[in-house]
Every structure is written in structure tokens, then in C-alpha cells.
Structure 1
Amino acid sequence: MELQEINQKLTETRDELLGILHGLGGNQLNNRKDSSSWSISQICQHLIKTEELYVLAIRKGLKSKEDSFIENKPLEFLLDRSNKLEAPDIAKPTDEILEIKEIIEKLNNSREKLYEILNTIEDPSVLSRRHFAHPVFKEMLLIEWVRSLYLHEQRHIKQISEIIDGFE
């Protein structure tokens, strides 16, 4: 999958997320189904933290001068919500109550940082030749890091929709 195509998916997915968020009130944002589940606000915090961590990983991976010869990972499993994944502690949200405006601002900032790094890459094929170790998925090509971001976000959009359906 080419970077341009991935960028399109990133944009579409983020637009979908923001569209959902714009329709929510403060209670919907911060209510939790139970003590072991995340609120919509916390899911968004997790998405922001994840994107910021991915930017750091991509930056580090780009510093490498060695070509990687690792296979692309199938990442579609990220969309399967029946497959429970535990977020690494570093990407877990806090209990901080955030207003919708603040969440959207932070989502925009993390995406801006991603695009800043991607737009500095002269030869996008370098993303398919460099890798960096992911805490959960191990060795991943940088292009897979970028691609997994929108799949990860789509997974959490499904989760947010499930939470909203529970409000009705």
C-alpha cells in the first residue's frame, strides 16, 4: 500500500472519528460502562498517545541507515474487536476529564506531528525499507507503523460506536 493511499485512509478515518465526537455531550464523552472499560474520552486519549508514540518510533526508524528485509505484517486483525488487545502502559489513558474541544485539539496536534514527519521524507519508499520494533507486534516496517494507525483508529471507532449504542 502506497503512502498516498495510507494518507487518504488516515484522513477518512480521522474525519469519521471527529464527526462522531462532534455529536457527543460531556456525559457521553466521560461516562464508562464499568470500572474496567474506557470512556470515549479515554479512548481518544489512547489514540492521541498512540499516534505520538508512533511518530517517535517512525522518527527513530528513519534514523537507521540499514535496509530491513522483514515481511509486511497482516494488520487487518486490528479490526477484529473480538480479539482483545491490552494497550501497553505507556499508551493507556488517564482518568482526567477532558472537554470535547481539548480532545479535538489534541487529536489535531498528534495528526499534525505525524504529517510533519511524513512530509519531510524525500523518498517514501524508505518507509518500506526501514523498521522499528513495536512493543506488541515486534519488528515492523515503518510503512506498517503508519498503516496500522488508521486500522487502530478504525478499531476504536467501532468501540466508540458500541459505547454510543449503549447510551440509547
Structure 2
Amino acid sequence: MSRNELIKAVENAISGFQEQLSLIDANQLNTVPYEGSWTAGQLGQHMRMANSGFVEVINGPVKDTERAADARVEGIRETFLNFGLKMDAPDFVVPEMREYKKDSLVNGLEKVKQDVVKAIEELDLDKTCVAFELPVYGYLTRIEAITFIIYHTQRHAQQLSRIRESLQA
């Protein structure tokens, strides 16, 4: 993917999630829609926590990459866009059960989007990020970390759509 294609994909994914979140009634933002689900507010907070964490990783220490810089992109895409696959978030990005404000979540995601776009524009995307080792995948390159943000966000936009439908039923 070119830098422009990456920027477009990041903007589309995060904006899509923000739009889904904006459509949820403020009175239902913190309502558990069905057993075993997070609230829409918790899901928005999870996205803010996880994606801002990846922004820190992307902007953190790096080393030269000793493989194709995009070698793990396809595996990340296949995993996160497999909506039949159940995953549990690591504890450090599990949002607490509390009252969330929609504007705060949407604005937080907007900052993440701007920060990712800035990284795409300014950084060497072929470098390997060494601040965090992702379970299963290991250390990601910047381009892989950015595609993680894209596919992770798309996955949760799908989940948010299901939450919204359940709340409207």
C-alpha cells in the first residue's frame, strides 16, 4: 500500500467507527446490549486505548527490519476480519465498566486518527517497532502496526454495529 492508500484506509476505518458511535443514543451508550458484551462506551474506550497505544509503539524505538516490512499484514488482516473468531482483549486494554461520554470518545479517536496520519506522512514505515511485542505476531513494523489499527478498527466497527442493532431492538 502506498502512503496515500494507508492514510485513506486509516481515515476510513476510524471515521467509520466514529460514525457508528455517533449514531448511538447518548442514553444507551453505557447500556449492556446483550449478555457477554461490552457497552458501546466501553468499546469506544477500548478502541481509544488500543489504537493510541499503537500510536505510541509506532512513534517509539525502532530497529532495522530483517524481513519484508509487510510480511505480517495478510495474517493480521485474516485474523481481525474473521468475524467468526472470538478474541479476548489483553487486560491492559480492557475498559472499565463506567459512564463514558460520546464526545470524549469521538474526540479521542479523532486525535488517534490525526496521530496515525502524521506517522504515515513522516516516518520510515519499514522499521521494526521494539516497544511492544504483540502476542502471536511478535514485533511489528510500522506498516504492520498501522494495518493492525486499520483491521482492528474495522473488526470493532462491525461489533459496534451489532451493539447498535441490539440496542434499537
User: So what's the TM-score if we normalise by structure 2?
Assistant: 0.84
2:65 matches 1:59:
no
Residue in structure 1 matched with residue 30 of structure 2 by the alignment: 30
1:91 aligns with 2:93: yes
RMSD: 2.0
Higher relative contact order at CA 8 Å, sep ≥6: structure 1 or structure 2?
2
Q: Secondary structure at the match of 1:80?
A: coil
Q: Distance in 2 between matches of 1:53 and 1:39?
A: 21
Tell me the residue number matched to 1:81.
83
Distance 1:3 1:119, change over 3 A: closer
Shift of 1:136: 4.7
Aligned residue in 2 for 1:18:
18
Moved more, 138-147 or 106-115: 106-115
- Deviating above 4 A after TM superposition, structure 1's stretches of 4 or more consecutive aligned residues are none
TM-score by length of 1: 0.84
* Gap regions ≥5 residues in structure 2: none
Conserved? CA contact 2:30–2:98, under 8 Å: no
Is contact 1:29-1:40 (8 Å) kept?
A: yes
Structure 1: runs of 5+ lacking an equivalent: none
Between the two proteins, what is the percent identity of the paired residues?
20
| 1:107 and 2:109 matched | yes
The Cα of 1:28 is off from its aligned counterpart by 2.4
Cα pair 1:45 1:103 within 8 Å, conserved: yes
Give the CA deviation at 1:137.
2.7
Deviation by residue 1:38-95 (Cα, 9 ceiling, x = unmatched): 1111111011011111012112243x2x333256112222011211111111111111
